[in-house]
Amino acid sequence: MALPLIFVVLFVGLLIGGVGIGGVLLVPALKFLGEIPLHTAIPACMVGYIATGLIGSMVFGRQGSINWQMAIKVCLGALPGAFIGAWALQSVSASVLEAAIAVLLVFSGINALKGTPQISTAGAMVSNQFLVISGLVTGIGSALTGTGGPLLLIPILLFRRVHLLTAIGLAQVIQIPISFTATLGNLVSGSVDFRLGLLLGFLLALGSFAGAKLVHALPLAAVKKSVAAMMVLVGVAMLLRILLGFETSE
């Protein structure tokens, strides 16, 4: 792996551990900087996301930033969601899905930028049904698009004004069932490069650990604005990629 790509992977891990969103940048980086085919890159990324999920969950858990009751609900939805997404992958247009995700990111990011940071945990503000459905939607979308769970879950939770650190903490946890389930599915098809996946996992874990530590040391308002700005930028970039005709599956 070339040195520039190593730094990019570390940076992506930093983003995933710190603000949750960042995995969407990994597959394009592997393709354009590492010249790795997407059908190899995406399954390897899913292996790597297992590491970021475990590291992020450990750090956020120790900081008391994970509501485990909420985490169980979203993971219960994510498990069948990942299976459904994998089953439907061949019959749903990736461009339509990517456009929907991009609009969600932009809309939710702008909404978060306009709002004020919440200081209390907001677990009581959302129902169990909402959490399970959020996990289900996140699992389906992640399996269909090859993105990490945080990309979908964080905008959904912020839209319902769940506390920022709670949302990021739940996004760390949901990576585990989604990436593990996706890896099992990819393993059945024989399309997992474990050598690449383990290398990605190691680098992503280093970055994720640093990011998860850093986010707890920064002012909440600044972190929220950073997350919101990242959501808007990633959403706009995804829309531009669609409009310019770039494909994610080849």
| DSSP class per residue in 179-247 | HHHHHHHHHHTT---HHHHHHHHHHHHHHHHHHHHHHTTS-HHHHHHHHHHHHHHHHHHHHHHHHTT--
pLDDT of 242: 77
Q: Are 207 and 11 in contact (CB under 8 A)?
A: yes
pLDDT of 126: 84
- Domain coordinates of the chain in residue numbers? 7-243
CB atoms under 10 Å from CB of 141, counted, come to: 24
pLDDT of 121: 44
Six token digits for residue 27: 């597959």
pLDDT of 104: 73
CB atoms under 10 Å from CB of 239, counted, come to: 17
pLDDT along the chain (250 residues), means of 10: 90 86 79 82 88 92 91 93 74 70 78 58 69 92 76 86 88 92 79 91 94 82 78 83 62
